[in-house]
């Protein structure tokens, strides 16, 4: 019952702030765009299936 004993929306604000920080860091440190990553991964899976 760690979170239910808190009163107010302080926990919600902290959660939203953490999610925002995670999103920003993910965008900043992403090695390549999502579509490029998906095509690379699907190419590796297809290559393993054909081998």
Taking a C-beta distance cutoff of 8 angstroms, is the pair 9, 16 a contact? no
Q: Which two tokens stand for residue 35?
A: 């579509």
- pLDDT tens digits for 3-50? 555 556 689 999 999 999 988 888 777 777 777 877 877 777 676 666
User: What pLDDT does residue 14 have?
Assistant: 93
Q: Which two tokens stand for residue 46?
A: 């297809």
Q: Which two tokens stand for residue 7?
A: 């009163």
Q: CB neighbours (10 Å) of residue 36?
A: 10
């Amino acid at each position: 019952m760690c979170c239910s004993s808190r009163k107010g929306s302080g926990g919600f604000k902290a959660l939203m702030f953490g999610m925002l920080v995670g999103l920003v860091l993910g965008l900043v440190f992403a090695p390549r765009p999502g579509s490029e990553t998906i095509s690379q991964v699907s190419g590796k899976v297809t290559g393993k299936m054909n081998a």
